[in-house]
Structure 1
Amino acid sequence: MWFGYYKFRSKNQRKNGVPTVKKIIVDSNHHEDTNSYASIGDKVQFKTVITAQPGAQNYVLHDTMDDSFTYNKDVEISYKGSKLTLGDEYTINYDDSCTFDIVFNENFLNTLSKDDEIVVTYSAILNGNAHIETGNTNKTHLTYGSNKNTTEKDTVTTTYQINVLKYTKSTDNPLGGATFSLYNAANEGTAYQLVKKQNTENYRLALSEEALTTTKITTTSTGKFSIQGLKPGDYWLEETEAPKGYNKLAKRIKVTINEYGSFLIDGKGNADNYNLPYNQVDVENKSGSLLPQTGGAGTTLIYLIGGALVLGSGFVLANKKRAKAK
């Protein structure tokens, strides 16, 4: 209110300055961002920073994760470099509307000064419900004072997939009966454990606790399958068994997923434009030879050399027979 030339604030006006909330993800290299990438089974580390104001009252932090996250219940809260104690400075509640709520005790709030920071960290596992390519969100907001709310902040964690088409002669002729595995290295390495999604031709990375897993994918008559739940990086696709009458690929195919979810194949982009990434791995099988198929000119050269050797040996044998006859 105004009194003479001076304006006095009431007791209520002096209280409950407007706090702010910042939400980020911290990666394994300690980089902080609102966006991140993860594979199914990865731990995602979240961090929320509350910037408090004098007269803080009724601070409650609300956190809501997509069902694609499994919360680890590992909240830690620090203030001025010291860890707060659960039960003394704050409590954690669980209800149906949020993943969890953190209620700060009034005695602790009374110690806060202007722009003091409260740092909240916790983590979750990206699970088998992960949304592929569209992002997995974690939302946070703070209620304070008399039912006031800060602006909701969120983070997005994205995971991708590799789409594969097995075919013969042309992509219009899909090929069933080919078996593949996905590896973490060009040679040897470890095959990823996978879980097949029901009623689909899609597979996803398995969680460590899952029992019914496989490392092998066999194509159906559509020739198509996808492997989901992959973060950007390098992967190697190996054809472990070819359909009867067809040649198995001689080496693994390197697939590099970029941060936009498209990929390079053996370091190259689209055949029409090497700078344009692929959205599908097209794998051709050829029939009629027992030699491993590499898909390159080297295979043709082997055929020619082999044919020449056969003809040459036949010529030598015929000459020997003529000599004996004389």
Structure 2
Amino acid sequence: MNPDVVPALVIAALVAGAVGLVGALIVLAVARRRPAVAAALGPLVVIAALGGGLAVSIQAMVLPDAAVSAVLWLLAAAVPSALVVGLVLALRTQRLGADRAAAVAARERDAAAESRRREVVAWISHDLRTPLASMRALAEAAEDGVAAPEDAIRGIRSEVGRMSAMVADLLDYSRLHAPGVRLESEVVDVGDVVSDVLASAAPIARAAEVRLEGKVQGDAVAIVDPREVSRAVENLVLNGIRHTAAGGTVRTDVASGADGGIVVSVVDGCGGIPEADLPRVFEPGWRGTPSRTPGAGGGTGTGLSIVQRVAELHGGACWVENVNGGCRFTLRLPGASSR
């Protein structure tokens, strides 16, 4: 090798290395936010580094004209290949990123579901212990002669009814969350479903000294599973009765939305829910009280979770918001015309 060209070659190598280093830093910076774009830029950085070194070599006239022409053609031919390779890497990186994000999301959902399952099991164990303890106390009182047998039997029957309602809630919750659950949908007038629910809940409302009101506005026909929708509306109405003080009102309205959906709203007189607790209202087992002690109505705290699941299975939604003096629970279902 001619010693005269060594300095020029060193300079060309340094320039190529510098261009490559700057390109690598740019790729790393881009990779933090756009990994796919960084993958596409990688091969182009190599071409740019070679081009920079070649440019210095040409300026120093280290290479003969024929060699310069050949290298330029090779670089020009390599650019499309670099673009194709970069595009393939970008698509692969994007797909791997999407797969990784989906896997992380799936793990988080599984972890959240397992955490909820553990909480539900713990809460249900606590709630079932209460009527069992009451039945045991009543039986012992009757056995010791402290309470009349007929009074003890009446109390035990009441606790058995509470336990039966809890078990029914648990079975419904488990069934609706089971894989492959299917709805038996048909054309239903949601207004009629709500009317039936209000009629069946009327004795409970009278016992609690709570007024039930309702109104149907417009066409309320939807293709839904009447049994599941009835259970969801019943849960909302009973929840409203349970949390409304004597003399209050629970109002249930049915209306057709502008998008063809059916909206069922239940407004109670609970006094409102703290804003920090609103996102947790539909969590299974959550009641918003530190004691976790069931009230007179019993239950496992899965009623609102069942309502949300029924809405999801129908392609609808359910939400809650505070209104003057209470809360408004809204159940939205797709109408027959929106399917």
Q: Same fold (TM over 0.5)?
A: no
TM-score by length of 1: 0.22
Higher relative contact order (CA 8 A, sep 6+): 1
Decide which structure has the larger Cα Rg and report it: 2
Task: Name whichever structure is richer in helix by fraction.
Answer: 2
